[in-house]
């Protein structure tokens, strides 16, 4: 079973981030063994859809720090590589390459800080979700905080389904926050 890397980010004042960790799954589909390019994009779209995260788009990653206050997000890298900064300007720089998956809880800032020329991702959100774009402007809060608090925990992980990954890690973070 794949075990994700977990990255926790606190509120920076500009970006709310989340009590839930961002997750990186390495080599969900290993390049050279699995399909490449568009075939890998279709593979991610099918995988995410089977787990209740219908694919929403194919593209790149914005080069400005942003977050979503109304939905969690999953990104499946199907081509190339990217240096993604998570958690805001002083956050963690993570290298993602074809075959990797990034799961972002609502509120976690993310930004493309460099990419290969061929970089592309599939983006998806839990079924029934509609994402927004927030950029860390003072006028966004406290409204964004209130919307983030209303975003439900997904019933499944976009990679692992009903067991493991965010289902366990995020439930644990929720329990810890509730018990203080």
Report yes or no on whether pTM surpasses 0.75: yes
Closest CA to 113 of 75, 77, 86, 136: 86
- CATH number of this structure's domain 5-179, picked from the four choices 3.20.20.70, 3.40.50.1100, 2.60.120.10, 3.20.20.120: 2.60.120.10
Q: In the chain, where are the structural domains located?
A: 5-179
Per the CB < 8 A criterion, the answer to whether 72 and 126 are in contact is: yes
In order along its 180 residues, the chain shows pLDDT tens digits of: 789 999 999 999 999 999 999 999 999 976 555 566 778 999 999 999 999 999 999 999 999 999 999 999 999 999 999 999 999 999 999 999 999 999 999 999 999 999 999 999 999 999 999 999 999 999 999 999 999 999 999 999 999 999 888 999 998 876 565 445
């Amino acid at each position: 079973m794949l075990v994700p890397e977990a990255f926790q980010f606190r509120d920076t004042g500009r970006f709310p981030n989340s009590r839930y960790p961002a997750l990186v799954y390495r080599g969900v589909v290993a390049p050279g063994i699995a399909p490449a390019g568009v075939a890998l994009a279709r593979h991610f779209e099918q995988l995410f859809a089977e787990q209740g995260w219908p694919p929403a788009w194919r593209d790149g990653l914005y080069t400005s720090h942003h977050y979503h206050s109304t939905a969690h997000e999953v990104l499946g890298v199907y081509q190339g590589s990217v240096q993604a900064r998570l958690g805001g300007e002083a956050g963690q720089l993570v290298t993602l390459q074809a075959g990797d998956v990034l799961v972002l809880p609502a509120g976690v800032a993310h930004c493309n800080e460099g990419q290969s020329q061929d970089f592309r991702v599939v983006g998806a959100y839990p079924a029934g979700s509609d994402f927004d774009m927030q950029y860390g402007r003072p006028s966004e809060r406290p409204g964004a905080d209130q919307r983030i608090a209303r975003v439900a925990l997904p019933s499944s992980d976009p990679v692992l389904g009903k067991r493991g990954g965010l289902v366990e890690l995020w439930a644990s973070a929720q329990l810890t926050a509730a018990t203080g």
